[in-house]
Structure 1
Amino acid sequence: MTVLSTPAASAAVEQCRIITRDRARNFYYGLKLLPEPERSALFVIYAWMRTADDLVDDASHPAAETRTRLEALRVATVAACAGQPADDDPIMRALADVATRFDLDVTHFHAMIDGQLADLGQVRYERFDDLRRYCEQVASSVGLACISIWGYQDDRAPRRAVDRGIAFQLTNILRDFAEDFGRGRVYLPREDFDRHGLTPEILNAGSDERIEPFLVEQIDRVESYYRAARDLTTMVTPSCRPTLWAMTEIYQGLLRRMRREPERIVRGPRVRLSALTKSAIALKARWQARADR
């Protein structure tokens, strides 16, 4: 079963499912735990996000052209959320139905695109407040769209979703520091470097005694956002909780690994969870999903 009923619309959602399966890897199996129509809706949201990400990550186009393409995506997305998708774009056709069925707020998509635009060119943030705003754009907005699809009964859930999104994105930023540095992107704020007498270049070199206290401070801050959002899982519809739990456990597992081995943030290898750990998370999430049905 898919979220859409007509043959053409069902084919559009199936294309989104394939994109999610091929590109989301670990998340695909977590999303499969969702009931319908929430499962297909999340496939559509992921496919839309992948489209935006690919525009920014495509180094073959100059920044000005990428900016134009992102703004065109914005226009198409607004039209889809208003129930007028382009006929030749299956992702937009699927998004139109999802946005209507779950009453999605188009401002979430505006925020995601604004965050993608911020990634064009050389990225440097002066203050943590600036970085937090970026995290809200690219990650918290996704969380808000997700809980709109999953459903929730507690008015505090949107604030918790914002904090969980910030935690996820800060986890990504720490894990990917070396890769992002090589692409001219430094997300960690300059005020933090200044406080420790460091620079991004010194951190990337990875051989200074001031680095470990700096990284511990970063990890502590990320953990504070996980704590702030710790009760979000209990606020969403029970049948959707296993997916949110599994996603959170994966990200927190990465952060715990960085806590144990902070040097890997700058020296590598890139922090990953073992196949055994991911399998254990998946098994527990499946058990939870069966218990909630």
Structure 2
Amino acid sequence: MQSVPVGLRADFEVCARLTASHYENFSVVSLFVPRELRPHFCSIYAFCRGVDDLGDELKGDRLAALDAYEEELRRAYGGTPQTPVFRALQHTIEACGLPMDPFLRLIEANRRDQRQATYETWDDLRDYCRYSADPVGRLVLGVFGCCDEERAALSDYTCTALQVANHLQDIHRDLKNGRIYVPKADLESFGASLEDIRQARMTDGVRACIKFEVERTAEWFTQGARLERLVPHRLGLQLRLYRLGGEAVLEALRRQDYDPFVRRPVVTSGQKLRIAMRAFMGFAQRGVAPG
């Protein structure tokens, strides 16, 4: 935490603990992230985790809580934030020159989750991802100072793919919140229905639809992979780690014959290690050491 002001170190420690305490397919902050930028990754993640928890777990008026969260965000841009996460985030915003719009979109995505439980078409789901997923990639590019139009567009491919892979992985969990992120039109094109998902009925149509979603998501990962060569080397390796983790979730679905109900498709510890080593080999090949 030497790269942040002494008076904010306790606030950034809160963000770091929050980042470390939540399950992810891969760590948000790996050794591939330069040491001086890791606190900024943690403050952004803490913001994202906080808004998602309000949208998914809060007992009470979630929309009112999200409005209050937005008020605190606005104080981070022109006032005095009242909470550790937003005090840390204010420093990240100022140090990295981050715009407000991506943060506002992430809040709006969680508002949508309170109002909308299903999506008619892929285009509808894709629009949701422009709020729920794509802003994160743009913020990461902003931290590294390389968020131009071309790289942002490629980042959107990867972020949407990661979001859809997460939805496919967490169909059971999303159902507990009353949500289905498999487009209705896609299900119907294979002779399946939203009710099949609600009732966890594994039909031929559901299997065919999940296979279709897996392969389309894999293609989006392929489209976004070019970004890894267009950003600073360390960021490229971190992005590769995220992509390989998302692709591993898709492969887990393939291994269980596209049945999302039989078990939650997971990336095992051994697979994580192998993927991390694949990404780490980039350092060895380039003679770069993490730290």
| TM-score normalised according to structure 2 size | 0.90
Does 1:57 pair with 2:53?
no
CA deviation after TM superposition for structure 1 residue 153, in Å = 8.1
12-21 vs 22-31, which moves further:
22-31
- CA-to-aligned-CA distance 1:66-88 (integer Å, 9 cap, x gap): 10111111121122134x232x3
CA distance in 1, matches of 2:85, 2:29: 21
Q: Which residue of 1 aligns with 2:135?
A: 141
Q: Which residue of 2 aligns with 1:239?
A: 234
* Aligned counterpart for 2:64 among listed residues 56, 64, 68: 68
Q: Which residue of 2 aligns with 1:219?
A: 214
CA deviation after TM superposition for structure 1 residue 96, in Å = 0.8
| Aligned ranges 1:143-158 → 2 under 5 Å | 143-152=137-146, 155-158=149-152
Does 1:209 pair with 2:208?
no
The one-letter code of the counterpart of 1:33 is F
CA distance in 2, matches of 1:234, 1:126: 35
Q: 1:22 to 1:246 in 2, by over 3 A?
A: same
Structure 1 segments, 4+ long, off by >6 Å, are: none
Is the 1:74–1:110 Cα contact (8 Å) retained in structure 2? yes
| 5+ residue gaps, structure 1 | none
Equivalenced residue count is 286
- CA-to-aligned-CA distance 1:4-25 (integer Å, 9 cap, x gap): 12x2211111111111111145
CA deviation after TM superposition for structure 1 residue 57, in Å = 2.1
- CA-to-aligned-CA distance 1:128-185 (integer Å, 9 cap, x gap): 1111011111111101101111233875110001111110001011111122223310
Q: 1:231 to 1:2 in 2, by over 3 A?
A: farther
CA distance in 1, matches of 2:257, 2:109: 27
| TM-score normalised according to structure 1 size | 0.90
Q: 1:29 to 1:123 in 2, by over 3 A?
A: closer
Is the 2:29–2:42 Cα contact (8 Å) retained in structure 1? no
Does 1:80 pair with 2:79?
no
Q: Which residue of 2 aligns with 1:99?
A: 93
The one-letter code of the counterpart of 1:283 is M
Q: Which residue of 1 aligns with 2:123?
A: 129
CA distance in 2, matches of 1:173, 1:153: 26
Is the 1:151–1:236 Cα contact (8 Å) retained in structure 2? no
* Aligned counterpart for 1:252 among listed residues 239, 244, 247: 247
Q: 1:154 to 1:51 in 2, by over 3 A?
A: closer
C-alpha RMSD of the superposition: 2.1
Aligned-pair identity (%): 24
The one-letter code of the counterpart of 2:209 is F
The one-letter code of the counterpart of 2:159 is G
Is the 1:12–1:93 Cα contact (8 Å) retained in structure 2? yes
Q: Which residue of 2 aligns with 1:46?
A: 45
Is the 2:228–2:240 Cα contact (8 Å) retained in structure 1? yes
CA deviation after TM superposition for structure 1 residue 29, in Å = 6.8
201-210 vs 243-252, which moves further:
201-210
The one-letter code of the counterpart of 2:64 is T
